[in-house]
Structure 1
Amino acid sequence: MAVERPKPKITMPTKSRLEMNIRQLLNKCELMAKQEPLDNNSRLKQYTTSLIEMLTELKTGTGPEYAIKPTKEAFAEYTKRANFLKGVVQTASLNTPSEKLEAVQLLSHGAATMSADAAAQEIHQKTRVKYGVELRSELFGLDSDDALRKRNIIKAPNFTSNSSSQEDIDSLLKYHQNMQEKVAENMVMLTKSLKEQSQIASTIIKGDTEALKKSSDLTDRNLSSLKQESDRLQEHSKSAWKCWLWIMLACVLVIFLNMVLFMKVMKKRVVT
């Protein structure tokens, strides 16, 4: 009697190849973010971009190869981890340590760092401490007189090695906020000084305008008086011309009469 062999059970794969590639790439990106420097890390940036594209493909892809979809919880976890890595890469591309530290603080409210993901928490703690140290080096590494004067005006916090990293960052942020408040006070004082100077300049300009207006009025009065004198002189010259004309006519008349008398006397003498 032949013994029937049990048929082997065919197990369906629970994850698609694309999902497995996403998991492997996520682990690789998180390992790179923990071990390698983030600044100018082009490989991590490329991997993160590819990771986002693969997640989009996994969500919207159609066809037999996309038949096996991850659960909503698993896909949400992949998305959170990928977005956190994208935020870390974008933070590393910022210019100043203060901007980087603010961006990292915003990342702390993300779902990835608030979850039980140890890798995300480790990366977040590492980047926060790193950018905090960079900001502290930038603030306290200045040797100029202005920086020393500001240090004397605003009492700098005491960063000791026994304090925790969170307290170190909080103290650094508090000191940075105090410096910003001091700069704001200086700006207010400068604004007041500029306002006073503008008021003084406005008063001077107003006085010059009044003086110019008085000079203009005086010029107008002088011009009017000159016009009157010119008219009077013109009338006087006309009257003088008439007087001389009558005098010349009288002289001509006298000469004419004398000539007539002279001619009559000479004619009588010649006749006799």
Structure 2
Amino acid sequence: MIPMSRLEINVRRLLTRCEFMAKDDQQTDWRLEKFILALDDLVNELQTMPNKPSKDTITEYNRRVEFLKGVVGTAKLSNPVERVAAVQMLSKTPVSSIDTVRPNIATQIHQKTTAKYTKQLRDELFNNDKGLSDDGLRQRFSNTNAHDENLDAILKYNRNIQEKIAENMLSMIGNMKEHALTARTVIKNDIASLDKSEKLTDINTDKLKKESVKLEEHTKSNWRCWVWVMVAFVLVVFFNMVLFMKISKKK
């Protein structure tokens, strides 16, 4: 196991401190945003080191930093409706084996922030006067209208988010279909090339067999010719010897 560098130890310490600060109250402590910016720079520097951690560890650090950025950015919103919608879109970082305390802190931050902004929205929506005067009734009607408008805004925001998600999914499906068609075309071309190569191989094999047969026949025919030539040569020599013996006998 590779030991952690000094920079990674500082990253983990500062990350833990930022999470505890966000858990307490991210609006009262102005240092939290400065710490998160410094933490982002440290994580980027950690990625450029030669003995940097694994890819999964770097990804987890980035997710934790992005989660804290989202919490701080949500706190800067002035409209309670936007805060509630934004905190619902915050994704809690997944549980991993790197830190056993952090997942619990991330869940607590998310739950505490959601409860806080939901309470603020509820207080604003149901902040009616106790009196039964005409002004009180008008205030109640205005609060009811504001409640309906805020609910419409939330529904509209969620509907827009769902439409964007649907568009992204359709785009991803289209890209996957295009890649599948491209891969199918490439595979078909490769199969066609293999078929042509197999046919050429069969043709060349047949030609090679035919040439082998011809060569064998040609070799056999040459061998027979040389046999007959040798037989003829032996007969000529034999007749010459007999003739020479007769001539020598007469003399």
TM-score normalised by length of structure 2: 0.50
User: Quick one: which of 108, 130, 133 aligns to 2:116?
Assistant: 130
Contact 1:14 1:68 in 2 (8 A): no
Equivalent in the alignment of 2:55: 72
Alpha-carbon distance in structure 2 between the residues aligned to 1:87 and 1:24: 20
- 1:177 maps to what in 2? 151
User: Is the Cα contact below 8 Å between 1:29 and 1:47 reproduced in 2?
Assistant: yes
Q: Does residue 1:23 correspond to 2:12, yes or no?
A: yes
Question: How big is the shift at 1:178?
Answer: 6.0
How many Å apart are 1:96 and its aligned residue? 1.7
Contact 2:128 2:143 in 1 (8 A): no
Q: Distance in 2 between matches of 1:150 and 1:180?
A: 18
Residue 105 of structure 2 corresponds to which residue in structure 1? 119
Alignment-derived partner of residue 45 in structure 2: 57
1:156-176 deviations in Å (ceiling 9; x for gaps): 9xxxxxxxxxxxxxxxxx994
Please say if residues 40 and 93 of structure 1, whose CA atoms lie closer than 8 Å, have aligned partners that are also in contact.
Answer: no
Residue in structure 2 matched with residue 146 of structure 1 by the alignment? 138
Structure 1 residue 26, shift from structure 2 partner: 0.7
CA distance in 1, matches of 2:154, 2:3: 55
User: 1:160 is matched with which residue?
Assistant: none
Write the letter of the residue equivalent to 2:74. Answer: T
Q: What percentage of aligned pairs have identical amino acids?
A: 38
Tell me if 1:45 matches 2:19.
no
TM-score, scaled to structure 1:
0.47
CA–CA distance in 2 between the matches of 1:153 and 1:130? 23
Deviation, structure 1 residue 13: 5.7
Equivalent residue number for residue 238 of structure 1: none
Question: 1:115 and 1:139 mapped to 2: Cα distance?
Answer: 36
Extract unaligned runs of 5+ from structure 2: 97-102, 130-135, 156-251
61, 73, 81: which one pairs with 1:98? 81
> 1:117-172, CA deviations, whole angstroms, 9 ceiling, x for partnerless residues?
22111100000000000111111124353341256789x9xxxxxxxxxxxxxxxx
Mark the CA change 1:93 to 1:178 in structure 2 (over 3 Å): closer, same or farther. closer
Corresponding pairs, count = 143
